[in-house]
Amino acid sequence: MKLQQLKYILEVSKNNLNVSSTAVSLFTSQPGISKQIKLLEEELGVEIFVRSGKHLTGITPVGRKILPIASEMLQLSQNIKKVAKESVDPNLGSLSISITHALAKFILPSILERFIVSHPRVSINVIEAIPSHISTEFQNDNIDIALAHEDLNVAGNIALIPCNQWNRVIITKKDHPLSKRQDLTLSDIAKYPIVTYPLGNKEQSKRLRAFSLNSIIPNIVFTSSDSDLLKTYVDLEIGIGLIPSIALRDEDKKNFEIIRCDTLFESSTTVIAVKKSTFLRSYVYDFIMLFAPHLTKDLINSMLTVNESYSSNI
């Protein structure tokens, strides 16, 4: 049994059993993949995939048991490499981060500025993604950690570490009627066209849920993940803005009325997502603690509930 064979069966399952697509993604040949899978099945004495002629059409019951174990074995092999690199040079490596647009634009820059000063030999790769795509980035082993919100929908092998809380604000043109309201209500907001960031579904969106619970239908005329674009549309008086408080800049106070609405919507929590079974390099801990200063290495390890021996103790 070879690690390469395990990688092949996992990649085939991720590519909807399409060996040709798998070969392209792995920069190898289709016959080579098919041969290695067959050799593995012969060694194990079972079939991992259901076949119809030369085509794979499904995963056998025993195959469904083998695939997650194969994934764990590949993760362990990656952990061994990380342990070795940590021992040889703990300050040299790379860090791949998947992050949502608002966090990448308004929170990450100051964190990276400090991190790069203390870790100049760590190369950083930032992948901007919507929350629904972050799980795929983990599944494809494209990232080490992800920064998003608590409604992140990820697999059970991903730990979500809570960080900072935030809420939404209303922004309007100067002297807008809403800015003169003493006790703002959802009904007041719903009287005006609203520009806001993407809503997701009703169960996930705390904005939609707040309106729905009060039997109010908001007039949402435009959505975008780019908060600066939303501000432009507010400036053009296309609508009032309902945006994350973390997306505010100092100059926004000069250009807009900023109306807090903490009592109208549930607060949200920024989370750091990490694979439970992964070995964390020492500089990954440092990055997490820069992002969330209240966290310690012990607290982080306590949230990675699968086998703490994977955590860096070198």
Note the pLDDT tens digit of each residue in 70-96: 988 888 888 888 888 888 888 899 999
The answer to whether 147 and 269 have CB atoms below 8 angstroms apart is no
The per-residue pLDDT for 202 is 47
Q: Which fold has domain 89-164+269-310?
A: D-Maltodextrin-Binding Protein; domain 2 (3.40.190)
The answer to whether 183 and 174 have CB atoms below 8 angstroms apart is no
In DSSP notation, 244-303 reads: EGGG--TTHHHHSEEEE-TTTS--EEEEEEEETTPPPPHHHHHHHHHH-TT--HHHHHHH
Angle between helices 19-26 and 3-14 (to 10 degrees): 120
Could you tell me which of 31, 45, 198 has the C-alpha nearest to residue 129? Answer: 198
CA dist 93 and 91 (Å) reads 7
If residue 95 lies in a helix (H) or strand (E), which one and from where to where?
A: strand 93-99
The answer, yes or no, to whether residue 168 has pLDDT greater than 80, is: yes
What number is the average pLDDT over the span 8-31?
A: 91
What number is the average pLDDT over the span 15-39?
A: 92
Q: Round the CA-based radius of gyration of the chain to a whole number and report it.
A: 24
CA dist 131 and 270 (Å) reads 12
Sole residue written with tokens 């920024």 = 270
The per-residue pLDDT for 121 is 95
The per-residue pLDDT for 308 is 40
The per-residue pLDDT for 312 is 39
**pLDDT for 220-269, tens place per residue?**
999 998 899 999 999 999 999 999 998 998 899 999 999 998 899 988 88
The per-residue pLDDT for 241 is 95
* Beta-bridge partners for 146: 98, 273
Number of neighbouring beta carbons within 10 Å of residue 224? 15
In DSSP notation, 137-193 reads: HHHTT--SEEEEETT----TTEEEEEEEEE-EEEEESTT-GGGG-SS--HHHHHTS-
* CA contacts within 13 A on the Cβ side of 303: 19
Question: For residue 180, what are the contacts with CB-CB under 8 A and spacing of at least 6?
Answer: none
Pick the more confident residue, 101 or 306.
101
The answer, yes or no, to whether residue 49 has pLDDT greater than 90, is: yes
- Out of 5-19, 36-50, 298-312, least confident range: 298-312
3-class secondary-structure state, position 127: strand
The answer, yes or no, to whether residue 292 has pLDDT greater than 80, is: yes
CA dist 223 and 195 (Å) reads 6
Sole residue written with tokens 């002629």 = 53
The mean of the pLDDT values for the chain is 87
The answer, yes or no, to whether residue 129 has pLDDT greater than 90, is: no
Q: How confident is residue 38, by pLDDT bands cut at 50, 70 and 90? A: very high
CATH class given for the domain over 168-266: alpha beta
CA 108, 113, 119, 125 dihedral sign is positive
Q: How confident is residue 134, by pLDDT bands cut at 50, 70 and 90? A: confident
In the chain, % of residues over pLDDT 90: 53
The per-residue pLDDT for 153 is 66
The per-residue pLDDT for 207 is 87
3-class secondary-structure state, position 60: coil
The per-residue pLDDT for 117 is 96
| CA torsion, ordered 145, 146, 152, 154, to nearest 10 deg | -30
If residue 197 lies in a helix (H) or strand (E), which one and from where to where?
A: none
Pick the more confident residue, 281 or 132.
281
3-class secondary-structure state, position 7: helix
The per-residue pLDDT for 114 is 96
The per-residue pLDDT for 201 is 54
The per-residue pLDDT for 203 is 46
In DSSP notation, 212-237 reads: HHTT----EEEE-S-HHHHHHHHHTT
Question: For residue 177, what are the contacts with CB-CB under 8 A and spacing of at least 6?
Answer: none
Residue ranges covered by each domain of the chain: 3-81, 89-164+269-310, 168-266
Q: Which CATH architecture has domain 3-81?
A: Orthogonal Bundle (1.10)
The per-residue pLDDT for 101 is 86
Whether 168-266 and 89-164+269-310 are alike in CATH topology: the answer is yes
